[in-house]
Structure 1
Amino acid sequence: MSKQKGKKVKLPLKLRLAAWWEGYDPEELRSRLAARMPEEPTAPAKEKPKKEAAPIPQDRSELDPWDADTINIAQYIWGEGFCGPGGPEYIVALSKLLALSPEMSMLEIGAGLGGRARVLADKFGVWMTGFEENDMMVAKGRELSKMAGMEKKAEIVKYDPSVHEGFLRNFDRALAKESLYTIQDKSKIIGQVEEKLKPGGLFLITDYVLSSEAVVGKESYGEWKVGERYNPYPILTSDYEEILKSKRLQVRVSEDISDQYITMINQAWAGADKVAAKLAKEEDGARLIQVLMKEAEYWTRRKKMLESGDLRLWRFVANKKDSGPGMMSDW
């Protein structure tokens, strides 16, 4: 057996990004390159003391996945005010079924940096209140809303979904874009939204769902779960629909939008090498590039789960039933 087989080969950043973009595993590419290198005489390796593997954190509530560098890198990839797929044009198109107007108010769960809230407030005149659990996100989101002169029109509010007891006022519309899958008690938060949603109001949800119950037993699912920023609790599409119905919300739209989502991920990361070149010119470029690579690995895992079909990105649009005596069809 070749002595080179276990040799660690350092891949240039551009090659690692290219491997990700083309769908190859960087580690596999690294091993292939090592196998092609000429053998070198090596002294007997000294046995190093074995390091114990770090325990996988079951509760990541005390870890902050959104430090200042990660937020900045995310905006380089997704655009100012955004930390994931779906920029201004996508958000406007996604929300057209909501028939938004300047007379309306809208609640958003998982507002992030407030990019969606500002886009919708600017495009449709709707009054947005975005609820976000991460302190860094809230601070940066408020700063961006202030810079845009939209402190009141696109307000970002701090909340903790694990102890949240309800919203204080009524809303005409509600939005939750890939934010409910990290909340274990979805029935509770959806019920809190329904409670403050005006009769006839609409609730738009896009979220990660499981394609089958068997997925949770797969090794790939475990790897994805461990690599997520927050503990994920995805459920089946049918379970989602049952929760909505149990909270007197009528499901009007239920569709798989995974293919479009994967395309947006690919398009955004296609320019990652340009981002890396820009970061390399900065004083702490090496450190920032490491943050960029960490983000690339994060989205690689998620994209693989979506492409395999084990994880899907689903869109729901539900409306609150009008108040008053229930009809037989409601029972």
Structure 2
Amino acid sequence: MANQPKSADAPRLDWRARLAFENRRFNAWWEGYAFDAAAERATLARAGEAASAPGHIDIAEAIWGEGRLDPGDPAWTMRHARTLGLSLKANIVVLGAGAGAPLRDLAAGTRWRARGFARTARKSKSYSVAAYESALTQINRAGADGGLCFFDLHRDPDPASLALFAAELVKPNAPFAFIDFTVARKHARLRGCFAEPWDGWPKPVEQTGALIEQSGFRIADIVDETRAFTPLIAKGWARWKSAYDLALQTADHRARSAYLKDLASYAHLWAERFDAIRAGQLRVTRYHTRRKG
């Protein structure tokens, strides 16, 4: 299979997209059909842009607060941080760090040195969140004393790979807490709760636990955190007006229209999640684990 030259202006792909690109190229060679490298790169680049569109981040921050892409507050962050039982000046990693709010919470509540990572790199005045693909070049492999992962397992098309990635960042026997959505019961109808562009799909509690254990962790405890999480959603409802006001400040008519459309979609998505939680179909689960080693 001959390699096709990459043009100078070809879109740059992250590591997951590059892996998908190579898989598609191999499949084309294996099946014997023509492979259009430029078209495939463009398709994967568009998919990546849609998943991390700045407008969606702006909407989330307008509702949940500066630096937050999911419901949360300092008490929520520290609730899970305290379960790690780390020393006074520990080094930790935070996956699913959003736009930096969990790092701000930890800086206010601990003396730890925290490094934040997410699907999309973000920088604020005080905190920097790096993209996942750059993590292993920025910190020592197996160097962290512990870690937290907020709501990123369900977002990943291959959550086991993200859990494996987390295992590479921490020392053997280091504590790690995974906090995420899980399906509370079989045959739950959650299609409206996890739709594009806010993608992802949660798995049942046992299935999520199994993939975490297969990825290099031992589960010490599984805790239902739904009752602590639900008020954070309700708290965000009061901020919907600020998100709407932000849209009205947009001078460009098309951009304003697109923002309002995304805002309506986001409101519907969280209303569906809230209803699913109240109906006992969706829950928030914390897996308290330790790195095998």
Instruction: Decide which of 101, 118, 123 is 2:104's aligned counterpart.
Output: 118
- State whether residues 104 and 172 of structure 1, in contact with CA within 8 Å, keep that contact through their aligned partners in structure 2: yes
Whole-angstrom distance in 2 between the partners of 1:125 and 1:248: 28
1:207: how far off?
A: 0.9
1:167: how far off?
A: 7.4
- State whether residues 101 and 124 of structure 1, in contact with CA within 8 Å, keep that contact through their aligned partners in structure 2: no
Whole-angstrom distance in 1 between the partners of 2:281 and 2:140: 34
Match of 1:241 in 2: 209
Match of 1:294 in 2: 265
Compared CA separation, residues 102 and 302, structure 1 to 2 (3 A): same
Compared CA separation, residues 116 and 214, structure 1 to 2 (3 A): same
Deviation track 1:252-298 (CA, whole Å, cap 9, x = no partner) reads: 22111223322211111134235535654664695454443332122
- State whether residues 68 and 99 of structure 2, in contact with CA within 8 Å, keep that contact through their aligned partners in structure 1: yes
Whole-angstrom distance in 1 between the partners of 2:218 and 2:143: 19
Q: Does 1:252 align with 2:225?
A: no
- State whether residues 206 and 315 of structure 1, in contact with CA within 8 Å, keep that contact through their aligned partners in structure 2: yes
Partner of 1:209, secondary structure, is strand
Instruction: Decide which of 170, 186, 190 is 2:163's aligned counterpart.
Output: 190
Compared CA separation, residues 278 and 61, structure 1 to 2 (3 A): closer
Match of 2:280 in 1: 309
Whole-angstrom distance in 2 between the partners of 1:284 and 1:195: 45
| Letter of the 2:47 counterpart | S
- State whether residues 257 and 313 of structure 1, in contact with CA within 8 Å, keep that contact through their aligned partners in structure 2: yes
| Letter of the 1:221 counterpart | L
Partner of 1:95, secondary structure, is helix
Match of 2:198 in 1: 229
Q: Does 1:170 align with 2:143?
A: yes
Q: State the TM-score, normalizing by the size of structure 2.
A: 0.71
Compared CA separation, residues 104 and 291, structure 1 to 2 (3 A): same
1:66: how far off?
A: 3.9
Deviation track 1:208-252 (CA, whole Å, cap 9, x = no partner) reads: 11223423xxxx4333343452242x2221122233334453322
Whole-angstrom distance in 1 between the partners of 2:47 and 2:246: 33
Compared CA separation, residues 178 and 68, structure 1 to 2 (3 A): same
- State whether residues 167 and 193 of structure 1, in contact with CA within 8 Å, keep that contact through their aligned partners in structure 2: no
Greater CA radius of gyration, 1 or 2?
1
1:81: how far off?
A: 0.8
1:172: how far off?
A: 0.7
Deviation track 1:91-140 (CA, whole Å, cap 9, x = no partner) reads: 12221112345532112222221211232134212222222222xxx1xx
1:204: how far off?
A: 0.7
Partner of 1:181, secondary structure, is coil
Match of 2:13 in 1: none
1:74: how far off?
A: 2.0
Whole-angstrom distance in 1 between the partners of 2:194 and 2:60: 20
Root-mean-square deviation (Å): 3.2
Compared CA separation, residues 275 and 181, structure 1 to 2 (3 A): closer
1:85: how far off?
A: 0.6
Partner of 1:226, secondary structure, is coil
Aligned residues: 244
Compared CA separation, residues 79 and 312, structure 1 to 2 (3 A): same
Q: State the TM-score, normalizing by the size of structure 1.
A: 0.63
Deviation track 1:278-319 (CA, whole Å, cap 9, x = no partner) reads: 654664695454443332122112222222222221111112
- State whether residues 96 and 152 of structure 2, in contact with CA within 8 Å, keep that contact through their aligned partners in structure 1: yes
Whole-angstrom distance in 2 between the partners of 1:253 and 1:320: 13
Q: For structure 1, which runs of at least 5 residues remain unmatched after alignment?
A: 1-56, 324-331
Partner of 2:290, secondary structure, is strand
Match of 1:87 in 2: 73
| Letter of the 1:313 counterpart | V
Instruction: Decide which of 127, 150, 157 is 2:113's aligned counterpart.
Output: 127
Deviation track 1:15-61 (CA, whole Å, cap 9, x = no partner) reads: xxxxxxxxxxxxxxxxxxxxxxxxxxxxxxxxxxxxxxxxxx9x983
Compared CA separation, residues 246 and 226, structure 1 to 2 (3 A): closer
